[in-house]
Amino acid sequence: MIQNESNGTGFEFSSPRQTKFTDRVDVFCSDPNSESFDEIWTTETAVEHSNPGGTMLRNTFDGDIDELAAVIQTIRSAPEYNQHWEERFTWSWALWELYTRLNESVPVVLTTESSAALSWLGASTSGAFRERLRVSEQFREHYCSVVGHPTQGTTHETPIKTELDELFHAIQTLTKDDVAAEIKGPYGEFYRYLYGGNATAGGRTGSVKLVDTERVVRAYASGEANDAYDKPEKPEFWGGTYWENWKEAYADHVRTEIRQQFTLDDLSPEDIAPLFEAITTAEGSELSKPVATYVMGSQWGQYTWNDIVDHFTDNPVEASRALSLFFDDSYSVVNRLDAFKEHTIHLTETEDRSPGSIERMATSLLMFTDPEEHLGLPPARTKKFLNSKSTLPKYESGFRPQQYRAIIGPLRELRDKIQYQVRECGSDNAVTMLDVHSMIWIYGGEGEPTSDDI
């Protein structure tokens, strides 16, 4: 197909993304300014254009615009990848795309798009830069042995590196409608294969709504209005044997102690160790076990928490930049979670450290620092609740910032419904996302309330 066609559905070789990217880098490096840099970081040139946006990438770079241009020139001509570059860029994937696109000695482009496409093709990638690059280079060798270099000798000849970049883009972005329109065409065999690709597969969140929540909202509101989730137990209410109000005490501790001691969106390297010491204390929350055990739900979850704390405290410069962005609510929640994910996901290489546990810690930190707006996600119980009570096609396991963005709006609406019902029960108790968390937790253990619970 690409031997005969320069452009088509899902690929473009007359003016490929790779060429646009390098041309715009030339313009930026010849006259460094914010406008020309932002032209590099657009949807038509860079996969990571929103991870982060150009402005955020510039603002989080450790240096001014001229230094950024100088580092890019160094990256472009470097004989090999230098891990010290990561100290200047908060966003690893952005750095990896810069390096692999610009450096001619690197035979593949490394992006989240290529990683996801390779996973779908059966060449799973994970870990740090060199491991991901190794898997990508192995796939390139397989591609060359099976396909060769299809554009070679054509009027639109491009490097194999660009051919693979366009292939991965097609796998990740073509929709069912795109593919269906091509299946009966001359290249139907190729597009028929892509019909099961990532972009056409189920699981896209779309517009999520909650359904059939009236009974569970009324049951929880009745318990909350009667202080059933505090001590002592009140088993006559739905979930009345659960002690859930520890969360409120801990959130108060975060608000009155931690936020007073630290400026969370402007952390210094010296803040990191005392910050996590303050976060993990049980003081003021009446907890009989370490905070991590309650927040993470199990001993295994606590191990993940401890690994993340150790990683951040061992790397305070990296941690201060990543966490300052993570706690900064002026950024989108996807960017904030992506920042946390990028700096911790490598820990899943350790046995029993799952991406879902890392997401649980990240979202829990969001919840306890902003309990009005955010929700910690206990993986199994959130999955049970949303698969039963939402239009989400399927709650996907793992660390998925886009999925969080899709569900958090409807869950905030659920918070408001609980608040209304609590007031209908004659109570003036304030409802926050901590209550949504408690309701999901109880639902995961107790299931649907009966008529006796309402």
Stronger pLDDT, 157 or 123, i.e. the higher one:
157
Sequence-ordered list of residues with C-beta below 8 angstroms from that of 177, at least 6 positions apart, any chain: none
Sequence-ordered list of residues with C-beta below 8 angstroms from that of 156, at least 6 positions apart, any chain: 6, 13, 14
- State which amino acid sits at residue 24: R
Pair of tokens at residue 363: 């979202």
pLDDT tens-digit readout, 342-365: 899 888 877 678 899 999 999 999
- In this structure, what is the dihedral angle of CA atoms 66, 67, 69, 73, given to the nearest 10 degrees? 140
- Whether 140 and 107 have beta carbons less than 8 Å apart is answered as yes
Burial zone of 84 (CB within 10 Å; 0-12 exposed, 13-18 middle, 19+ buried): exposed
How many C-beta atoms surround the C-beta of residue 450 within 10 A? 11
Average pLDDT over residues 255-262: 92
Return the pLDDT at 268.
95
Return the pLDDT at 204.
40
Residue 248 pLDDT > 60, yes or no? yes
Pair of tokens at residue 48: 């990571």
Residues 107 and 203: their CA atoms lie apart, in Å, by 32
Residues 39 and 210: their CA atoms lie apart, in Å, by 40
Sequence-ordered list of residues with C-beta below 8 angstroms from that of 299, at least 6 positions apart, any chain: 293
16 backbone dihedrals φ, ψ, rounded to 5°? -70, 160
pLDDT tens-digit readout, 403-451: 998 899 999 999 999 999 999 999 999 999 999 999 999 999 999 998 8
- Whether 345 and 358 have beta carbons less than 8 Å apart is answered as yes
pLDDT tens-digit readout, 206-229: 468 899 999 999 999 999 999 999
Residues 259 and 261: their CA atoms lie apart, in Å, by 5
Q: Where are the domains of the chain?
A: 7-194, 214-453
Name the pLDDT band for 286 (thresholds 50, 70, 90). Answer: low
What 8-state DSSP symbol labels residue 254? I
